[in-house]
Structure 1
Amino acid sequence: MQEHDLSFVRAELVANQPAPRGQKGFGHWLRRNMFATPFDGVLTVLAVLFIAYSLPPLLNWAFIDAQWTGSDRSFCATVAQGGVQPDGWSGACWAFVGAKFQQFLYGRYPIDERWRVALTGVLFVLLIVPLLVPRAPHKALNAILLFVVFPVVAFFLLVGGWFGLEYVETPLWGGLMVTLVLSFVGIAVSLPLGIVLALGRRSQMPVVKMICVIFIETVRGVPLVTVLFMASVMLPLFLPAGVTFDKFLRALIGVALFASAYMAEVVRGGLQAIPKGQYEGADSLGLGYWQKMGLIVLPQALKLVIPGIVNTFIGLFKDTSLVYIIGMFDLLGAVRQNFSDATWASPQTPMTGLVFAGFVFWCFCFGMSRYSIFMERLLDTGHKR
């Protein structure tokens, strides 16, 4: 009887093999991302040519030919080799930014009291960083300190008038401080209020639904400029005689309500994306309305609309520059205000100041965008990798 050949049965897993030479390395990355198709290759070549054409003059303007130090505009009107150019200085005037940097940060806040603004900023960073780090402990306590305790402490520090602190009226506020205060209050108020408005718009109670729909559609139907103008100019006309509100407080309320209307629509989109079975499953467990929303529906809905939420935050951060029209000076307003300083009136001053302001705005917006991507990946439980 002939013996039959036994099939080979592997008793252990095959060791990981290296990727093929053509599927790794910088060349593979270029082929996959830059030259995947002929059209992609053409766009890549055009982009490289554009960068090669525009980058050297930009670097010359921003760094090589720039003036970094000086006390007045005369330093930005002379070249490094000596002499004066007929058409003015060809490089950036960073000396202007250095001379006005304190005003760009604090506006006209009293110099001797600016330590209060710096202390408020340090407290904000110390509280928000652990809240943004996923593995940091005591999130609930951290959130209470940041959103409940910190605003009270910041109010007493920035406004003053108590505990021996000098009173500083809000018209003296300005610069990056105003931008951050408006953004923080707008973000902290718009998200919870937007969630309430979104739930109200999907409510089965006609009165609640109608109120939420009217508010959302009315606010979304007008630009933020109109809201700020109404809050600053028109609102005092409807108040009783002798009753008034601080202009900065009115701007805070207007910005927060405006952002809340847009946030409500973002959250509503997430609520509508949740399958009906999630609602029915929560009902079958005997959960009440707020338990169902807080434990089952909202966590899933908010995770789905993280990009929309952060996009609204970024838009709000940039829209704070519109308070310039009501006589308040945020970072961009403070930069533009200093263009009229005769000491620094030169052809390169406006461009340099605007580039500086744009770079600061970009840093904050880019940071929020990257953190949004990080949170999306962290909370992505749709499939296992």
Structure 2
Amino acid sequence: MSDTHAQTVSYVRDTMLPESSPPTTEVGAVKWLRENLFSSITNTVLTLLSIFVIYWILSHVGPWMLGGIWNAGSLSECREIRDATVGSDHGVACWAVLSDRWHQLLFGYYPSELYWRPILALILFLGGLAPVLFDKVPRKMFILSAVAPFLCFWLLWGGSIWLPISIALGFVVGYVVYGPLTKTFGSLAGIIGAIVLPLLYWLFLSGSVYAGLDSVLPIGIEFVESRAFGGFMLSVVIGLSAIVLSLPLGILLALGRQSDLFIIKTSAVVFIEVIRGVPLIVWLFTAQLLLNYFLPPGTNFDLTLRVIIMVTLFSAAYIAEVVRGGLAALPKGQYEGADSLGLSYWQSMQLIVLPQALKISIPGIVNTFIGLFKDTTLVVFIGLFDPLGIASAIRASTDWNGIYWELFIFIGAMFFIFCFSMGRYSLYLEKKLQRENR
């Protein structure tokens, strides 16, 4: 440093300053509050107004909910306990209806000594679904995924073990004929044969196969009629069955609608537009009254199974349009790239097109599933005891006549848990796929 420059600078620091903490207003909760709640005068006013509204609601609803009564045998007994403790001028929730009728809200009129069967069926179903939803689950679990639907069916309804086995043989038939038909007549013929032949087997042969096996070696558990199903058990059975079945069917319908083959495209378009153009409640009445007329003579299909079929078809039509939107969003270069690699139609769909289309369609698909699960409450109009139907039956009894909010809050909370879980899984899957593509 020159002498002239040294004389003009009073002090030159020759050591680094130690690190200091950032200002309190720039870190932690204070920073979050400043940026999200008090960033401007308008936001500050809205924040204070929201805090007042939340306080007012909690101050009125909180004591009613938290001070509720859990031990009572009827609504009149709840009121007697309330009058003796807090006075008749104060309202309190009578949660005792939940402790008294929880089994009906969850299982309907299913025999209490057999509650282990629907619980085990749900565990098996979730175990079979795990390798499909999470890639870290061992691939050997796909064996459980294949057999879980038939085991769940048998556990829920009971009866002979040969009934689900005879149904499973239909899928074996489709798997066996697919290869030879594809080699001989092409992939389209193989797919049509793998769909049509199992349907014919189920309609005309499965009953005879079941009766023959059952007569030779009768093995089974106690049979439970569908009218005993109710509550959230019924909603879960209908909702999860329709969700699992409608996704692959909706994908096939979406591909059919984009097909160059006139018959397949027209059939897919007619099916989708007819199903979507009619309210679900009409299809439920169709399942209740008319579906048996389209089955072979002498066939008596269980009402719950008919409802599952109709809800599945209804959901598949909406899934097809969601997936079609994902297919339309892909650049044309993806299809041309698959053709340039020499891939067949089904290979390009499986390896290149569908994975990208389904990734785009995840929010719409999950949204459709959430709406489907909530729409299971419509079965109350055809005589099935969903949670709302069970709530009406409980309120019709002399013990709990006049109770409303407690039942509806519980039902709403249960539906929220199911739907919120599906929404969170959708977000998890979206974030996971975004990380993998970086």
TM-score band w.r.t. shorter chain: 0.7 to 0.9
For the pair shown, which has the larger CA radius of gyration, 1 or 2? 2
Are the structure 2 counterparts of residues 49 and 237 from structure 1 closer, same or farther at C-alpha, using a change threshold of 3 Å?
Answer: same
Are the structure 2 counterparts of residues 370 and 204 from structure 1 closer, same or farther at C-alpha, using a change threshold of 3 Å?
Answer: same
1:106 aligned residue: 107
2:52 aligned residue: 49
- Could you tell me how far apart the structure 2 residues matched to 1:358 and 1:18 are? 47
2:245 is the alignment partner of 1:245 = no
1:288 aligned residue: 344
2:149 is the alignment partner of 1:151 = yes
- Could you tell me how far apart the structure 1 residues matched to 2:278 and 2:20 are? 60
Query: Residue 369 of structure 1: which of 423, 435, 438 is its match?
Result: 423
Check whether the contact 2:127–2:144 (CA below 8 A) recurs between aligned residues: no
- Could you tell me how far apart the structure 1 residues matched to 2:315 and 2:364 are? 12
- Could you tell me how far apart the structure 1 residues matched to 2:86 and 2:42 are? 48
Are the structure 2 counterparts of residues 238 and 169 from structure 1 closer, same or farther at C-alpha, using a change threshold of 3 Å?
Answer: same
Greater mean alpha carbon deviation, residues 204-213 or residues 359-368: 204-213
1:12 aligned residue: none
Deviation, 1:38, is 4.2
- Could you tell me how far apart the structure 1 residues matched to 2:130 and 2:78 are? 39
- Could you tell me how far apart the structure 2 residues matched to 1:383 and 1:195 are? 23
Greater mean alpha carbon deviation, residues 148-157 or residues 352-361: 148-157
2:355 aligned residue: 299
1:78 aligned residue: 80
2:167 aligned residue: none
Deviation, 1:332, is 2.5
Check whether the contact 2:82–2:88 (CA below 8 A) recurs between aligned residues: no
2:62 aligned residue: 59
Deviation, 1:42, is 3.3
2:32 is the alignment partner of 1:25 = no
Overall identity of the aligned pairs, in %: 46
Check whether the contact 1:104–1:176 (CA below 8 A) recurs between aligned residues: yes
Q: Secondary structure at the match of 1:45?
A: helix
CA distances 1:59-103 after superposition (whole Å, capped 9, x unpaired): 111112x1111122233212446179657x722111101111111
- Could you tell me how far apart the structure 2 residues matched to 1:117 and 1:266 are? 32
Check whether the contact 2:24–2:30 (CA below 8 A) recurs between aligned residues: no
1:92 aligned residue: 93
Deviation, 1:39, is 3.8
Are the structure 2 counterparts of residues 317 and 18 from structure 1 closer, same or farther at C-alpha, using a change threshold of 3 Å?
Answer: farther
Superposition TM-score, scaled by structure 1 size: 0.87
Are the structure 2 counterparts of residues 131 and 236 from structure 1 closer, same or farther at C-alpha, using a change threshold of 3 Å?
Answer: closer
Check whether the contact 2:117–2:155 (CA below 8 A) recurs between aligned residues: yes
Q: Secondary structure at the match of 2:290?
A: helix
Deviation, 1:153, is 0.7
2:404 aligned residue: 350
- Could you tell me how far apart the structure 2 residues matched to 1:294 and 1:102 are? 45
- Could you tell me how far apart the structure 2 residues matched to 1:353 and 1:185 are? 26
Which structure 2 residues correspond to residues 300-319 of structure 1 after superposition, within 5 A? Answer: 300-319=356-375
**How many positions carry a matched residue from both structures?**
363
Query: Residue 196 of structure 1: which of 223, 229, 252 is its match?
Result: 252
Query: Residue 212 of structure 1: which of 263, 268, 287 is its match?
Result: 268
CA distances 1:163-206 after superposition (whole Å, capped 9, x unpaired): 34111111111111111111111111111011001111111112
1:8 aligned residue: none
Q: Secondary structure at the match of 1:355?
A: helix
Greater mean alpha carbon deviation, residues 115-124 or residues 360-369: 115-124
- Could you tell me how far apart the structure 2 residues matched to 1:241 and 1:260 are? 27
- Could you tell me how far apart the structure 1 residues matched to 2:327 and 2:23 are? 45
CA RMSD of aligned residues (A): 2.4
Are the structure 2 counterparts of residues 206 and 73 from structure 1 closer, same or farther at C-alpha, using a change threshold of 3 Å?
Answer: same
Deviation, 1:109, is 1.1
2:324 aligned residue: 268
Are the structure 2 counterparts of residues 49 and 61 from structure 1 closer, same or farther at C-alpha, using a change threshold of 3 Å?
Answer: same
- Could you tell me how far apart the structure 1 residues matched to 2:79 and 2:407 are? 16
Check whether the contact 1:77–1:85 (CA below 8 A) recurs between aligned residues: no
Q: Which amino acid aligns with 1:70?
A: A
2:242 aligned residue: 186
Q: Which amino acid aligns with 1:107?
A: G
Deviation, 1:144, is 4.5
Q: Secondary structure at the match of 2:260?
A: coil
2:382 aligned residue: 326
2:123 is the alignment partner of 1:122 = yes
- Could you tell me how far apart the structure 2 residues matched to 1:17 and 1:83 are? 58
Q: Secondary structure at the match of 1:343?
A: coil
Select the structure that is richer in helix: 2
Check whether the contact 1:225–1:322 (CA below 8 A) recurs between aligned residues: yes
Q: Which amino acid aligns with 1:277?
A: G
